[in-house]
Amino acid sequence: MSILKTFFLAFLMLMFIGSSHAATDSSRLQVSLITCAPGAELYSVFGHTALRIVDSAANTDIIYNYGTFNFDDPDFYTKFVRGKLMYFLSQQSFPDFLYEYAYFKRGVTEQVLQLSSTEKKEIQHSLFENVREENRYYKYDFLYDNCATRLRDIIFKTNQNNAFEPPAFAKQGTSFRDYLHNYLSRAEMQWTTLGIDLLLGIGADKTMTTPESMFLPDYLAQGVSLAVKGQSKLVERDQVHLPNAQDLPVKLPFWQTPLFFFAFLAFLVLLPSFFRSNALASFQSVMDRIIFVLSGLLGLLLLFMWFGTDHQSFANNINLVWAMPFNLLVAFSLNRSGKWLKTYIRFYSLLLLVLMIPVLLHPGIINFGLYPLIVVLSFRSWMLSKDEKNVKALVSTDTSLENLSFEKTKG
């Protein structure tokens, strides 16, 4: 009889535990953060993230993805450059999503979130509303509004009391640019790093807050894994669905890097300065024009990206200190005398020297590969500003050669 009582009590206890669990979570939902490993292409080099919602009541397993855009848009490139390309929230079955990443050998990790029934329903309802055609589109921003920041806001702002809070996990003083460099260095994308460093404004160099440090998928996953509410962790469990099986990136030989390219260009510009000959003087004039045209064109591009586009991240660009659009006018005025020209290039030379102080104190503000170009611009500007003979050198050499040829013909 005592054995029957024991079994009966155990049965009642199991029923109580089951009913208690059902009472605390009657949603029959499972909400997970999916993090995908970075890929080999530029569009995938920072990884990807999405939300997975398994609804056992409706028998659905759906991925919600904020990183979708219409590549078939006839104005795709124009909208992309001007920052007007609209990204949108899309749905996809989890098996199809997994198949796509398996094809590219990219790793996929899942973190199941420990949320209340109410919180899960709130997230599902929010996604249902945002996936509607009239609500699904948003203007993408590289640093402040992307597929990771959208999910960060959903996960951490669903609960009105912000119960789950990640501790500060970024190293003190870490900036957006630092995080981007981590990915690009790992992918051996030195020219891409140069391009991004050229375009990003000084806002990318400010110290990130803890929420801002989760603007990339891997760091969002890290913040989620560390978040706690009292003694409870936000992540209930995690699982690796696909190991990362991509080939290691190939390192560029030094002669193909930006540093080598601009160092070689600087060498060609400086070489004639140490020799005296008519041929080298003509070569010097050509090289001077090249560096002033190059810096001027870059300046025009940076001005356009700042004022002519909606890219918030490209404003207040410090590269405009050396890549001045006005250099284009200088390039085509070097064969003319004028006080304004001499004053400008002397001021420009000194300005570049001053610029190197914060650049050396805070490496990374300006891409290291550009240092040779900045130094040679400063040096050649100073040499051209020393006296009018240098400013007029481009025509005086050609004129003397023409006169000598004319006299020989006449004789």
pLDDT tens sequence across 71-84: 777 777 688 778 88
Give me the count of residues in the chain: 411
Same domain, 36 and 78: yes
Note the pLDDT of residue 16: 38
| pLDDT at residue 396 greater than cutoff 60 | no
Same domain, 153 and 96: yes
- pLDDT tens digits for range 379-390: 999 998 885 555
Closest Cα partner for 88 from 64, 112, 68? 68
| pLDDT at residue 20 greater than cutoff 50 | no
Q: Is 49 exposed, middle or buried (0-12, 13-18, 19+ CB in 10 A)?
A: buried
Note the pLDDT of residue 230: 75
Q: What is the mean pLDDT of residues 327-347?
A: 86
Note the pLDDT of residue 228: 87
* Radius of gyration from C-alpha coordinates of the chain: 30
Q: What is the mean pLDDT of residues 31-58?
A: 94
Q: Which domain holds residue 396?
A: 254-403
Is 368 a domain residue? Answer: yes
Contact residues for 97 (Cβ-Cβ < 8 A; gap 6+): 34, 50, 63, 65
Half-sphere exposure of 76 (CA within 13 A, CB side): 7
The tokens for 91 are 């749905």
Complete DSSP assignment for 230-287: TTEESEEEEEEEE---PPPPPPPPGGGSHHHHHHHHHHHHHGGGG---HHHHHHHHHH
Note the pLDDT of residue 175: 94
* Residue of 151 and 356 predicted with greater confidence: 151
Q: What is the mean pLDDT of residues 192-207?
A: 94
pTM: 0.83
Is 283 a domain residue? Answer: yes
Q: Which of 72-86, 171-185, 286-300, 343-357 has the lowest mean pLDDT?
A: 72-86
CA distance 153 to 157: 5
* Residue of 63 and 172 predicted with greater confidence: 63
Same domain, 127 and 148: yes
Helix (H/G/I), strand (E/B), else coil: 195: helix
| pLDDT at residue 204 greater than cutoff 60 | yes
- The model's confidence at residue 162, banded by pLDDT at 50, 70 and 90, is low
| pLDDT at residue 13 greater than cutoff 50 | no
Torsion, CA 84, CA 85, CA 87, CA 93, rounded to 10: 170
The number of folded domains in the chain is 2
| pLDDT at residue 391 greater than cutoff 70 | no
Q: Which of 180-184, 238-242, 305-309, 395-399 has the lowest mean pLDDT?
A: 395-399
- The model's confidence at residue 158, banded by pLDDT at 50, 70 and 90, is low
Note the pLDDT of residue 276: 75
Q: What is the mean pLDDT of the chain?
A: 85
Same domain, 110 and 238: yes
Same domain, 234 and 368: no
- The model's confidence at residue 201, banded by pLDDT at 50, 70 and 90, is very high
Same domain, 115 and 225: yes
The tokens for 170 are 């970024």
CB 355 within 8 A of CB 374: yes
Is 409 a domain residue? Answer: no
Same domain, 268 and 339: yes
Same domain, 163 and 31: yes
Same domain, 93 and 237: yes
Q: How far is CA 137 from CA 39, 76, 124, 152, 299, in A?
A: 25, 15, 18, 17, 32
- pLDDT tens digits for range 346-370: 999 999 999 988 888 888 889 999 9
Chain centroid, CA 151 distance in Å: 18
The tokens for 111 are 């973190």
Note the pLDDT of residue 408: 44
Is 193 a domain residue? Answer: no
Instruction: Say how many Å lie between the first and final Cα of the chain, rounded.
Output: 137
The tokens for 393 are 């050198």
CB 245 within 8 A of CB 104: no
- The model's confidence at residue 290, banded by pLDDT at 50, 70 and 90, is very high
Same domain, 223 and 263: no
The helix (run of H) or strand (run of E) holding residue 215 is none
Note the pLDDT of residue 296: 97
Residue 291 φ then ψ, to 5°: -70, -35
Is 17 a domain residue? Answer: no
| pLDDT at residue 43 greater than cutoff 50 | yes
Same domain, 133 and 219: yes
Same domain, 329 and 282: yes
Is 259 a domain residue? Answer: yes
